[in-house]
Amino acid sequence: MNELTEELLDSESVFEGRIIHLRVDTVRTPDGKVTTREVVEHRGAVAIVPLLDEHTVVLIRQFRQPAGRVLIEIPAGMLEPGESPDECARRELIEETGYAAGRMEKLFESYLAPGYSSELLHVYAARDLVPVGNSLDEDEFLEVFTLPLAEAPTAIRNGDVCDAKTLCGLLLVLNEAGRKERNDT
C-alpha cells in the first residue's frame, strides 16, 4: 500500500493549548504534488463501558462547549503524561462515576477523527463495579445515570445518544453479548 503513503516534508507548530496542539504539515502526495495537512495533536484518551450487570450500563451527562449542548457519553478522559491506557481507564472510571472496576477488559482502539486529529482512543469494558465515591477534576461537571443496554440502539437511532465513542462502545458490547448468546444456545 506504499502508493497511498504521503511523505512529510515540513511541519510547523501554530498553536499550543492545554488540551490540543495544532500543526500544519507540508506533505508530498503519491502523485508527487505538494499540499498541506492540518493536524490536531492530542496525546490520546480512554473511554470505558461500565457494566453494573450484563444488561445495565453506567453513563454520564456532560456539557460540551464545542457541541454547545449536554451530551450523553460513556466515561472518558485524556491520558496523563507517562500514564498507560490501562491506568488511565481505572482512574477515569473512578473520577467520573465513583465506581472501581473489579475486571477491566480492553475492547478496541480507534482514531476519532483521523482526517485532522491524531487522537487515538482506547476503549474498555469495566465489570464487577464497586462504589468508592467519585472525584471530578476542578472544571468538570457531570451527572451519572444508568441505561438498560437493550435500549441503546433506540437511543442512538432517535438521537439521544450522539457521541461516537459512546456509540462504538455500546454497540460493540451489544454485538459481543449477542454473539455469546448465540454460542450458548
Residue linked to cell 457541541: 67
Show contacts with a copy of itself in window 147-166 (CB under 8 A): 153, 156-157, 159, 162-165
Q: Which of 10, 12, 29, 146 binds a copy of itself (CB under 8 A)?
A: 29
- Of residues 38, 54, 83, 138, which has the active-site annotation? 138
The answer to whether 145 contacts a copy of itself (rule: CB under 8 A) is no
User: 157 CB contacts (<8 Å, ≥6 apart)?
Assistant: none
Binding residues among 99-128 for a copy of itself as defined by CB under 8 A: 107-121
Residue with cell 435500549: 151
By CB under 8 A, residue 44 contacts a copy of itself: no
The Cα 61–Cα 106 span in angstroms is 23
Q: In the complex with a copy of itself, which residue's Cβ is closer, 55 or 64?
A: 64
**Distance between CA atoms of residues 48 and 94, nearest Å:** 11
- Counting contacts by CB under 8 A, is residue 184 touching a copy of itself? no
Judged by CB under 8 A, does residue 138 bind a copy of itself?
Answer: yes
Q: Where does this chain touch a copy of itself (CB under 8 A) — which range of 51-59, 84-92, 126-134, 174-182?
A: 174-182
Residues in region 75-104 near a copy of itself by CB under 8 A: 76, 78
User: For a copy of itself, how many residues bind (rule: CB under 8 A)?
Assistant: 78
How many residues are given for the chain?
185
Catalytic site includes residue 73: no
Cα 112 to the chain's mean position, in Å?
8
* Inter-CA distances, 167 with 14, 128, 129, 159, 174, Å: 32, 22, 21, 11, 10
Catalytic residues: 138
